Chains A and B, each alone.
Chain A
Amino acid sequence: MHLGAPRCRRLHHHAPDRYNQPWYLGAIMNKQPLYILVLVALAPLFGCTALSNADTKAAAPIVQHAQTGILGGAQSFVLDNGLRVVILPQKTPAVITQIWYDVGASDEAPGKGGLAHFLEHMMFKDNETLTGSEYDRIIGHFGAQNNAFTSHNYTVYYELFAPRYYPLALKLEAARVNGLLFDAQKIQIEREVIKEERRLTSESSPYARAFEVFWQLAIPNNPHGLPVIGSMADIDALTQADLEAFYTRHYAPNNAVLVLAGDVNSDEARAKIQEHFGALKPKPLTPRVLSASPKAQGAKYQVFADTAVHTPSLYLAFLLPDFKDKDALHVDAYALDVAQSLLDGGENSLFATELVQEGIVSTIDTHYESTARGDHLFFIEATPSEGVDVDVAKDAIMAQIARLTSVDGVDKGALVRAQNMARTDFILASDSLEFKASLAGEFTLRGLSFDVVNHYPDALARVGQADIVSAVLRYLNPENSIYMPIVPKKEDAL
């Protein structure tokens, strides 16, 4: 389970199940540290060179980013209507087109939970250019892969086409920036689909049910604490007028970033983008308010008991602020990346050696996203070993974290290994076209420099022991913790 897991139009086909994985899946499921997998944010223009462009109609200057690094060779520019664009030429037999809208579940009014996600589903229905059926047929005929996801902060749509067909993706996306049509019957059917999605992902498992409660406990009175999909009551209550108003307000070229990554010629791509998106009209936008919870809320604790729980488990988290500092990241963001690696970054990590091997927990995982927007969590989920009390397991986890608060607690060799692995992982991550496109999209939307990505391993290498001690003391402390034991509910307690 991912924190703030984005919601998609559909499940990924052939998602592996734990019971009977196809034998080949291991090769594409190498475990990567989460800071690699979710290093999602975006970036202008540190160390970039503005070039003139005589070949396209795009009026704005083109920013040519550094040639090296994971986003090496990227170009950025802005159309007259405010659409921000990133082109990332790559030697791949496909082109991915992503459009990132600067809107998500955190923009929903109280009682309108799930609106951003519901609208994302409706974006695949009819618009003034194409019916939903035609859209699906085009995707099928041209062999594209497509999907969308909604998070608290963003709504993203993408298509992956063979290189020669990427202009189709531009046409499809341009058609629904402001031409969506709403049909009452289709809304009603999609409402039922979304309710099935909610049952599947949030209600069928006691751990998923606990997760929703935990998140609201951790970030109360804040849209980041509410589920992206919305409550069942909110989903039922959303109206066509709600959807239309949300769409009209937030979907505009000047509220979006377009990313094109793959086997493209930059000059040609700029012309194609201008052709399809250039005539779209911008809209007046209300600046987004970044959610921020009060600091020093004190330790929080709540038991979650459920008859469907067979094995006790626990969620433990620490509230973190947005680490964006101008167009870069605060050093604490990197320090927590390294702290996460020291705690949970492999078989020699503190959690593996001191908790798993010592028989205190059977499983333990940490989740942390250094580039997350707004309030977020350093999150730990663990299952105590048989016979170990869940509170004892929690105390043992806290004790390992506390080891990082003294300089002696951070082994120098471990620090070097964590940084070495981070470098390798970052290079390996560059194998994924989608990953690179996502970095470009989110960093651009957030106003973070591509240099953050391109020099990420160097930044990790600069993290010293004092940085780790400082960040852990500041954030991963008991007073900033949220703890939830998840335990079986006895029948006689019903």
Chain B
Amino acid sequence: MIKKTAPLLLALGTAMHAQADIIGRLDALALEDKPVALPRSYLVGGADAAIYFTPKTDVPMVQVSLLFHGGYAHGQPGLSDLAASMITEGTKRHSKEAFHKALENLGVRLDTHTSADYLQVHLTALNDEAILNEAVDLVLEAIRAPLLSDQARQMLIASNKTILDQSESDPDYLAQRAAMNALYGAHPYARSAQGTKADQDALMHADIQGFMARHLTAQNVKIVITGALDERQATRLGGRIWRGLKQGVAVNALPAPEPLRATKRIKVPHDTPQSAVVIARMAPSCLEQDIRGALLFELGNQAVAGGDFNSQLMQKVREEMGATYGIYGYDTKKRAGGHYQVSFATQSAMQETVIEATRDILEQTAQNGIHQDAFLLAKSGAQNAYGHRFLSTQNIHAQTLNLVGCDLPLNTFEIIPNLYASATLKETNAALMRLRGPYVIVTVGQD
């Protein structure tokens, strides 16, 4: 077998020479390079229908997702979440029992839930066209003509209220809730999917009916299909779904949230041995950023607050201070404007020290950027790891949903490797300037 001979990372700084030697020696162990077979997504619905298909044929399964513009930021608080649940509560023709028996007989998994921007319906099945057709017909029936029984509504509301009650003992939940409220203010992105117990009590039958009629239409849907079908089969399946939806009117886009003007410090007293901490700031809408800008920020963030042990935050707070089990920073992408947050938990006595260290790293990075060696490490890692995004049908489907959810171009998977390759330190540091405050800083724990 031919081995790759040219070692990578010849340009590491002096302090990194020893490690560069090791990386170079290990790189020499590598086998012959084989290009990663990247998935390619197709728009198969023609001019009118937004139907996206990504083939993956080695496992005989298909995933189908319907993304309706109607997430929890739309309508009354809690309404989208309740509507999503009501889809699985039976139809005018099929009782709940009959509906689920039919799906189970087909061996089909159905899941509905809501995110900030989308009410989502996900279906997973074997790649048998007859099964898929029957399954989507059932799901379409549930969307077009749900039973909407009052008994089910009351049961779901009672269950949601119990879950909300339980969440009051969860420091992470409390910290996230306080941070989102402080960050987004009156904007509906401040809500949780279920809202509050009072919100739940206000959700009436007519509200659900109206929400479904407004949002669950052909004009508000994106259909994403991934798996072991050919393009013609996917086109037929997608078309069947799109034609089976009611016609309606496209809903209006949400307004942008008000920018955060100044840093806010919020302390939520809670009887726990460990404080939950969220440090959050506004981030661009996923519709506004170009792919290159997003990738540059992702590269830089990997060096500052990424998921491995090389990030500045993990090195400082976990490896040097022993003050946390994990500390990570990441963007949450939303259509009208997202946010970036760093989250961690630490014993209450250490919370202020860790917050100070974290803010210092974020501010220093925004001002001075990251160093060349950290940039090269993040860049090579991103390039080498790119294929990991496409390990399974579920991985590819999730990646495609990301892409479609933010209206990114269909050739995104193919152009990303070139974008990584051409990334520069200067551009990356420019992208990292958005780590500058103001921030919302929330602690939940003992003061």
1/0 contact trace for B84-104 toward A, CB 8 Å?
Answer: 000010000000110111001
- Shortest Cβ distance from residue A63 to the other chain B in the assembled complex, whole angstroms: 24
Which A residues touch B386, using CB under 8 A? Answer: 143
> Are B26 and A168 in contact (CB-based, < 8 A)?
yes
Chain B interface size, as a band, is: 35 or more
Which A residues touch B388, using CB under 8 A? Answer: 93-94, 143, 145, 160, 162
Which B residues touch A363, using CB under 8 A? Answer: 159, 162-163
> Are A143 and B381 in contact (CB-based, < 8 A)?
yes
**Docked pose: A385 CA to B61 CA in angstroms:** 37
> Are B387 and A27 in contact (CB-based, < 8 A)?
no
> Are A24 and B158 in contact (CB-based, < 8 A)?
no
Q: Is A190 close to B, CB under 8 A?
A: yes
1/0 contact trace for B21-61 toward A, CB 8 Å?
Answer: 01100110111111011000000000000000000001111
> Are B26 and A171 in contact (CB-based, < 8 A)?
yes
Q: Is B172 close to A, CB under 8 A?
A: yes
Q: Is B272 close to A, CB under 8 A?
A: yes
Q: Is the interface of B mostly helix, strand, loop or mixed?
A: mixed
1/0 contact trace for B370-412 toward A, CB 8 Å?
Answer: 0000000110111111111011111101100110010000000
* The stretch of A317-325, A328-336, A367-375, A415-423 that contacts the partner chain: A415-423
**Docked pose: A134 CA to B23 CA in angstroms:** 8
Tell me which of A21, A145, A424 has the highest count of chain B C-beta atoms within 10 A of its own C-beta: A424
> Are A421 and B104 in contact (CB-based, < 8 A)?
yes
- Residue of chain A at shortest CB distance from B169: A308
- Shortest Cβ distance from residue B308 to the other chain A in the assembled complex, whole angstroms: 5
Which A residues touch B161, using CB under 8 A? Answer: 386
- Residue of chain B at shortest CB distance from A358: B155
**Docked pose: A163 CA to B386 CA in angstroms:** 12
> Are B116 and A23 in contact (CB-based, < 8 A)?
yes
- Residue of chain B at shortest CB distance from A31: B111
> Are B384 and A310 in contact (CB-based, < 8 A)?
no
Q: Is B63 close to A, CB under 8 A?
A: yes
> Are B107 and A423 in contact (CB-based, < 8 A)?
yes
> Are B122 and A359 in contact (CB-based, < 8 A)?
no
* The stretch of A45-53, A191-199, A240-248, A293-301 that contacts the partner chain: A191-199
Q: Is A433 close to B, CB under 8 A?
A: yes
Contact among A206, A347, A431 for B392, CB-based, below 8 A: A431
Contact among A26, A94, A167, A196 for B115, CB-based, below 8 A: A26
**Docked pose: A144 CA to B29 CA in angstroms:** 15
- Residue of chain B at shortest CB distance from A359: B155
> Are A268 and B384 in contact (CB-based, < 8 A)?
no
Among A424-452, those with CB < 8 Å from B are 424-425, 427-428, 430-433
Contact among A11, A136, A307, A428 for B109, CB-based, below 8 A: A428
Q: Is B271 close to A, CB under 8 A?
A: yes
> Are A386 and B162 in contact (CB-based, < 8 A)?
yes
**Docked pose: A346 CA to B109 CA in angstroms:** 10
Which B residues touch A94, using CB under 8 A? Answer: 387-388, 391
- Residue of chain B at shortest CB distance from A417: B104
Q: Is A141 close to B, CB under 8 A?
A: yes
Contact among A19, A166, A206 for B176, CB-based, below 8 A: A19
1/0 contact trace for B105-134 toward A, CB 8 Å?
Answer: 101110101011110101011100000000
Q: Is A20 close to B, CB under 8 A?
A: yes
**Docked pose: A164 CA to B28 CA in angstroms:** 11
Q: Is A311 close to B, CB under 8 A?
A: yes
- Shortest Cβ distance from residue A361 to the other chain B in the assembled complex, whole angstroms: 9
Q: Is A222 close to B, CB under 8 A?
A: no
Q: Is A17 close to B, CB under 8 A?
A: yes
Q: Is A56 close to B, CB under 8 A?
A: no
Chain A interface size, as a band, is: 35 or more
Contact A383:B96 (CB < 8 A) given known A20-B332, A22-B115: no
> Are B115 and A141 in contact (CB-based, < 8 A)?
no
> Are B325 and A197 in contact (CB-based, < 8 A)?
yes
Q: Is B245 close to A, CB under 8 A?
A: no
* The stretch of B205-213, B287-295, B314-322, B431-439 that contacts the partner chain: B314-322
**Docked pose: A72 CA to B258 CA in angstroms:** 56
Contact A427:B60 (CB < 8 A) given known A141-B380, A204-B171: yes
**Docked pose: A24 CA to B63 CA in angstroms:** 13
Which A residues touch B271, using CB under 8 A? Answer: 307-308
> Are A27 and B322 in contact (CB-based, < 8 A)?
no
- Shortest Cβ distance from residue B106 to the other chain A in the assembled complex, whole angstroms: 8
Which A residues touch B158, using CB under 8 A? Answer: 359, 362, 385-386
- Shortest Cβ distance from residue B41 to the other chain A in the assembled complex, whole angstroms: 14
Which A residues touch B167, using CB under 8 A? Answer: 18-19
> Are A13 and B328 in contact (CB-based, < 8 A)?
yes
> Are A204 and B176 in contact (CB-based, < 8 A)?
no
Which B residues touch A200, using CB under 8 A? Answer: 274, 325, 345
1/0 contact trace for A129-166 toward B, CB 8 Å?
Answer: 01001101111111111000000000000001111111
> Are B26 and A17 in contact (CB-based, < 8 A)?
no
- Residue of chain A at shortest CB distance from B387: A93
> Are B30 and A164 in contact (CB-based, < 8 A)?
yes
> Are B1 and A137 in contact (CB-based, < 8 A)?
no
Contact A137:B19 (CB < 8 A) given known A308-B169, A346-B100: yes
> Are A431 and B192 in contact (CB-based, < 8 A)?
no
Which B residues touch A144, using CB under 8 A? Answer: 384-385
Q: Is B180 close to A, CB under 8 A?
A: yes
**Docked pose: A124 CA to B347 CA in angstroms:** 24
Q: Is B367 close to A, CB under 8 A?
A: no
- Shortest Cβ distance from residue B52 to the other chain A in the assembled complex, whole angstroms: 13
> Are A362 and B162 in contact (CB-based, < 8 A)?
yes
Contact among A168, A207, A311 for B29, CB-based, below 8 A: A168
Q: Is A302 close to B, CB under 8 A?
A: no
Contact among B36, B276, B326, B402 for A162, CB-based, below 8 A: B36
Contact A30:B126 (CB < 8 A) given known A133-B19, A363-B159: no
**Docked pose: A140 CA to B309 CA in angstroms:** 8
- Shortest Cβ distance from residue B116 to the other chain A in the assembled complex, whole angstroms: 6
Q: Is A357 close to B, CB under 8 A?
A: yes
> Are A431 and B380 in contact (CB-based, < 8 A)?
no
Q: Is A326 close to B, CB under 8 A?
A: no
> Are B307 and A20 in contact (CB-based, < 8 A)?
no
**Docked pose: A145 CA to B65 CA in angstroms:** 28
> Are A431 and B111 in contact (CB-based, < 8 A)?
no
> Are A141 and B9 in contact (CB-based, < 8 A)?
yes
- Shortest Cβ distance from residue A364 to the other chain B in the assembled complex, whole angstroms: 11
**Docked pose: A184 CA to B380 CA in angstroms:** 33
> Are B100 and A22 in contact (CB-based, < 8 A)?
no
Which A residues touch B320, using CB under 8 A? Answer: 189
- Shortest Cβ distance from residue A28 to the other chain B in the assembled complex, whole angstroms: 5
Q: Is B238 close to A, CB under 8 A?
A: no
**Docked pose: A307 CA to B272 CA in angstroms:** 11
With A31-B109, A196-B322, A204-B345 given, can you name 11 additional A-B contacts, CB distance below 8 Å?
A19-B173, A23-B117, A30-B124, A137-B377, A196-B345, A207-B166, A268-B31, A308-B272, A362-B163, A417-B105, A427-B61
**When A and B form their complex, which 3 residue pairs have the shortest distance between CB atoms, in order from nearest?**
A23-B115, A143-B385, A143-B384
Q: CB within 8 Å of A: which residues of B?
A: 1, 4, 8-9, 18-19, 22-23, 26-27, 29-34, 36-37, 58-61, 63, 65, 71, 88, 96-97, 99-101, 104-105, 107-109, 111, 113, 115-118, 120, 122, 124-126, 155, 158-159, 161-163, 165-173, 176-177, 180, 192-193, 271-274, 276, 306-310, 318-326, 328, 330, 332-334, 345-347, 377-378, 380-388, 390-395, 397-398, 401-402, 405
Question: What are 23 A-B residue pairs whose CB atoms fall within 8 Å in the complex?
Answer: A10-B309, A23-B118, A30-B111, A144-B384, A145-B385, A164-B4, A165-B31, A189-B319, A189-B322, A192-B323, A196-B346, A199-B347, A308-B169, A310-B168, A346-B100, A347-B97, A347-B100, A348-B104, A383-B163, A420-B104, A428-B59, A430-B59, A431-B392
Q: CB within 8 Å of B: which residues of A?
A: 10-11, 13-14, 17-31, 91-94, 124, 130, 133-134, 136-145, 160-168, 171, 188-193, 195-197, 199-200, 203-207, 263, 268, 307-311, 313, 346-348, 353, 356-357, 359, 362-363, 383, 385-386, 413, 417, 420-421, 423-425, 427-428, 430-433
